A and B are shown apart, each in its own frame.
Chain A
Amino acid sequence: MFKRLAFLMCLLLALAWSSQALAASKLVVAVDSPPRTLNPHGSDADSNLSFMANFFDGLLQRVGDQGALKPALAVKFEHPDLKTWKFYLREGVTFHNGNPFTAEDVKFTFERLSDPQVSEFINTGQSIESIEIIDDYTVVIRTKKPIPWFANNMHQIFIMDKESTEAREPGEVGLKPIGTGAYKLEEWVKGSYVRLQANKDYWEGAPDLENIEVRPIKEPSTRFAALVSGQTDIVSGVPVELYSKIVDNPKLSIISRPARRSVFLALGNNPGSPVSDIRVRKAMYMAINEGEIIEKIMRGHAAPAAQIPDPPTIGYNPDIQRLDYDPDQARELLAEAGYADGFEITLTGPNDRYVQDEKIAEAVAKYLAKVGIDVKLDVKPKSIFFPEVFDGSLDFYLIGWFDGTFDMGRTYFKLIHSRDKEGGFGSLNGANFSDPTIDILLEATADIVDRDVRKQVLQDVNKIAMTDKIAVIPLHYQEDLYAVQKGKNIDFTPRPDRWMVYKEISR
């Protein structure tokens, strides 16, 4: 018996010993979702762009924890009139295959955006009227309509090599990226890892870390186990339930930063329905105890929101205040509006999209029940929920949003402008909220480009929408949580967009 036990111990020790420590120049990162494709235009999800930002560069890039817009493949740009954008390109940059980067590649890239077979950026692609090559390093892009936020988006349109992209099958292009980025693809084993290798000839200088291994681990508890067992150096997407466990672990440190995404409740206002009465909207707002949601459901990892955009976004208005939690006044307002006995409404929401989304929806239903509103909960997977939002068939739903362009205009056109198929507005206004004042004001902002004027006007529109009309009921901004192994000297500052850009990490 003892012999057998001793043998077992030896076996366990042997297994433990063979788990060697990770090599020094290598960084292993666990993220929550795998890349869908390595075609830089094949997905506009941030989880995918996060991979792309390492293989490719945009004309511009976002740097630092406030997401400042800085030059990348373009050294500067001009905006001579409302519809014209002139980019001066960086000279001497080469793609991973050795091809030089020129204006031809830029033209090719922007034309490719309009092809639905390979691009999810057709909205950007089709907004372009023409692309003119002045010389090898100067490009002029003309848009069909004035788009004030056009340049703000240039950090996520990644420039591809014309020659190698045209020569290869689309499937192959999505497997083997050829960009100008700080890292080259070494190997991608689907479901296991993506290995990146430093690009020694990078135009900003070779990145600090030579080898990166990114492991997508979807299951949160497994991601946690990978971190605690020392298998990974950085984990992004730490679930709030596990926060205290990581804080208690002496080998790990946790980094949190306010996320850009706000979570809110969209509410329709179909004429004749109870929610078309502003008093009812106010009452619903006041009935929800957001403080308790943050404390109990988000475990403190969220900040109360009074509007949809976050502070760095143009249009964020610091003067907008949340309505205080006050169930008594909410009941009075309901009585005043003639709904003392409440009414019935369906609250829809996803259960696999935002942090604790389903639990938040449940809590909201309970708070509203306390003031007499009978809420039917209808929570479902995002793949079923979002089509319903596009259909505009909902009354009241939970959704989250942040805008990569840092401009509120584009967001509000999507979310609270009346649904308008002709104009292409309101496609994510799933509860048919409609207010002519907001529509007119929003449309008037479309050709304001001057940053200061734009900021002022958008702030005013924002205030009207949030305070006077209660277009939506804002809840909170999420918080992004990362965990890092201590004692490995990893210098890592999270970005506002949650992208993992490895040239910014050093050790």
Chain B
Amino acid sequence: MASYIIRRILQGIIVLLAVSMICFIIFRYMGDPVLTLAGKYATFEQIQEVRESFGLDKPMLEQYLRFVWNALHGNFGVSYVSRVPALDLILERLPATVELATTAIGIAFILGTFLGVIVSLKPFAIRNKVIMAGSLGGISMPTFLTGILLIMIFGVYLGVLPPYGRGETVQVGFWRTGLLTLDGIRHIILPALTLAGFQLAVILRLTRAGMREVLTQEYIKTAWAKGLPPKKVIFKHALRNVLIPVITITGLQFGELIAFSIVTETIFQWPGMGNLLLTSMFESDQPVIVTYIMLAALVIISINILVDIIYAFLNPKIRYD
């Protein structure tokens, strides 16, 4: 078992190194930060001076090794644009993204399973056919379109919800939350719905398929025959068994929502990490971009390793030894 865990962790480190190398190289070719840093009127000589000052004149390999060395010490470099440590910049935006992703996944999970159950009970009722068709829309509609439509309907024509931003926020320790004020909650509704759209459709369809299968099984028939109330049969006996794969998928989607809610954050001017990533790309702020991608990779790889280890515990056949 120990050797399995060590192997998985070593593999994870190799993947991380590969990711760091690839994004380091790619973003070297995505614009030259020195030109902005030197100012519009800099001469060729001054541009060279700035390049040296930031250590960007050194060979690529040397720059990369220095980056890895510093990263190992928890130092991901300083943003070229704001001259603040890149990691701090990203962590400052973390609460907004986590709150948005959590709310979205919460909405998607509760609504998705609920609707999934309803649809599975009477699959051929007109209402349920409409719900299924709607879920197809949820899967195929791009986020930016959903977002803009929601803004236009609720923000502009009805004027009931604010179309952008995070609203009033409260600082609780290091965490700046928008979920404790009414204004903050009003602001999160539209972006969370936008982000939830796709996930909701996936969860709904997954729940429905699972329920359809489980409802035909013997033990459900027994439960009905025993004369148990429908609520108990559906939610306790059937749904519980269906939820296992649904929760697995939801968990995986959650990681992705946190790492890549860029489009939704941009449309709603949500001050989260995705928004920062996009701004940084426009400004060729490499330390921030590379740190962000490294962090995202770290989170996703850790989740995967954890899942693998848990599987190995549960199923001894997977272990290498």
A interface residues with partner B (beta carbon < 8 Å) = 12-13, 15-16, 18-19, 34, 36-37, 39, 42-44, 116-124, 126, 170-171, 174-175, 189-193, 215-219, 221-222, 225-226, 228-231, 352, 381-384, 386-387, 390, 410, 414, 421, 424-425, 427-428
Closest to B159 in A: A229
Q: Given A18-B186, A226-B163, A352-B282, are A190 and B39 also a contact pair (CB < 8 Å)? A: no
Q: Is the CB of B275 within 8 A of A191?
A: yes
B152 contacts which of A16, A124, A192, A225 (Cβ < 8 Å)?
A225
Q: Which residues of chain B (30-55) have a CB below 8 Å from chain A? A: 30-32, 35-47, 49-50, 53-54
Chain A CB within 8 A of B271 CB = yes
Chain A CB within 8 A of B266 CB = yes
- Looking at A126, A191, A216, A381, the one whose CB has the most chain B CB atoms below 10 A away is A191
| Distance, CA A9 to CA B217, complexed state (A) | 42
Q: Which residues of chain B (66-109) have a CB below 8 Å from chain A? A: 78, 81-85, 89, 92-93, 96
Chain A CB within 8 A of B128 CB = no
Q: Is the CB of A39 within 8 A of B83?
A: yes
Q: Given A36-B81, A171-B84, A171-B85, are A189 and B169 also a contact pair (CB < 8 Å)? A: yes
Q: Is the CB of B32 within 8 A of A222?
A: no
Chain A CB within 8 A of B146 CB = no
Contact bitstring B98-136, A, C-beta under 8 A = 1, else 0: 000000000000000000000000000000000000000
- Looking at B37, B83, B152, the one whose CB has the most chain A CB atoms below 10 A away is B83
B278 to chain A, nearest CB (A): 8
Q: Given A174-B82, A191-B275, are A226 and B164 also a contact pair (CB < 8 Å)? A: yes
B39 contacts which of A44, A189, A215 (Cβ < 8 Å)?
A44
* 4 tightest Cβ-Cβ pairs between the two chains A and B: A191-B271, A424-B43, A383-B31, A120-B39
Q: Is the CB of A116 within 8 A of B50?
A: yes
Q: Is the CB of A123 within 8 A of B84?
A: no
| Distance, CA A36 to CA B186, complexed state (A) | 28
Chain B residues with CB below 8 A from A414, complex form: 40-41
Cross-chain pair count, CB within 8 angstroms: 170
- Looking at B36, B39, B160, B267, the one whose CB has the most chain A CB atoms below 10 A away is B39
| Distance, CA A36 to CA B39, complexed state (A) | 14
Q: Is the CB of A37 within 8 A of B81?
A: yes
B128 to chain A, nearest CB (A): 17
Q: Given A18-B183, A42-B83, A229-B155, are A120 and B37 also a contact pair (CB < 8 Å)? A: yes
7 contacts between A and B (CB under 8 A): A15-B160, A123-B42, A190-B89, A192-B271, A383-B281, A383-B283, A386-B31
Chain A CB within 8 A of B165 CB = yes
Chain A residues with CB below 8 A from B46, complex form: 122-123, 126, 424
A148 to chain B, nearest CB (A): 14
Q: Is the CB of A390 within 8 A of B266?
A: no
Q: Given A18-B183, A171-B78, A191-B96, are A216 and B269 also a contact pair (CB < 8 Å)? A: yes
Chain B residues with CB below 8 A from A217, complex form: 164-165, 269
Q: Is the CB of B176 within 8 A of A19?
A: no
| Distance, CA A189 to CA B184, complexed state (A) | 14
Chain A CB within 8 A of B151 CB = yes
Q: Is the CB of A37 within 8 A of B151?
A: no
A43 to chain B, nearest CB (A): 7
Closest to B84 in A: A171
Chain A CB within 8 A of B148 CB = yes
| Distance, CA A221 to CA B149, complexed state (A) | 11
Q: Is the CB of A19 within 8 A of B155?
A: no
Q: Is the CB of B50 within 8 A of A15?
A: no
Q: Is the CB of A424 within 8 A of B164?
A: no
B125 to chain A, nearest CB (A): 16
- Looking at B38, B40, B276, the one whose CB has the most chain A CB atoms below 10 A away is B40
Contact bitstring B254-281, A, C-beta under 8 A = 1, else 0: 0000000000001111111001101101
Closest to A122 in B: B46
Contacts beyond the supplied A122-B42, A217-B165, A383-B282: 16 A-B pairs with Cβ under 8 Å? A19-B159, A37-B82, A116-B54, A119-B39, A122-B38, A175-B84, A191-B275, A192-B166, A215-B165, A218-B266, A219-B266, A219-B269, A222-B267, A231-B163, A383-B281, A386-B35
Q: Which residues of chain B (1-56) have a CB below 8 Å from chain A? A: 30-32, 35-47, 49-50, 53-54
| Distance, CA A163 to CA B49, complexed state (A) | 27
| Distance, CA A427 to CA B40, complexed state (A) | 9
Q: Is the CB of B85 within 8 A of A191?
A: no
A116 contacts which of B53, B156, B164, B269 (Cβ < 8 Å)?
B53
- Looking at A221, A383, A428, the one whose CB has the most chain B CB atoms below 10 A away is A383
Q: Is the CB of B271 within 8 A of A222?
A: no
Q: Is the CB of B84 within 8 A of A387?
A: no
Chain A CB within 8 A of B161 CB = yes
Closest to B167 in A: A192
Q: Given A122-B50, A384-B31, are A427 and B42 also a contact pair (CB < 8 Å)? A: yes
Chain A CB within 8 A of B199 CB = no
Q: Is the CB of B32 within 8 A of A191?
A: no
Chain A CB within 8 A of B207 CB = no
Chain B residues with CB below 8 A from A117, complex form: 53-54, 83
Q: Is the CB of A123 within 8 A of B39?
A: yes
Closest to A389 in B: B35
Q: Is the CB of A18 within 8 A of B182?
A: yes
Q: Is the CB of B163 within 8 A of A222?
A: yes
Chain A residues with CB below 8 A from B210, complex form: none
A229 contacts which of B84, B92, B156, B272 (Cβ < 8 Å)?
B156
| Distance, CA A469 to CA B82, complexed state (A) | 42
- Looking at A124, A170, A171, A215, the one whose CB has the most chain B CB atoms below 10 A away is A171
Closest to A385 in B: B31
Chain B residues with CB below 8 A from A222, complex form: 151, 163-164, 267-269
Q: Is the CB of B176 within 8 A of A189?
A: yes
Chain B residues with CB below 8 A from A218, complex form: 266, 269, 278-279
| Distance, CA A470 to CA B83, complexed state (A) | 42
| Distance, CA A216 to CA B271, complexed state (A) | 10
Chain A CB within 8 A of B158 CB = yes
| Distance, CA A381 to CA B270, complexed state (A) | 23
| Distance, CA A219 to CA B268, complexed state (A) | 8
Closest to B269 in A: A217
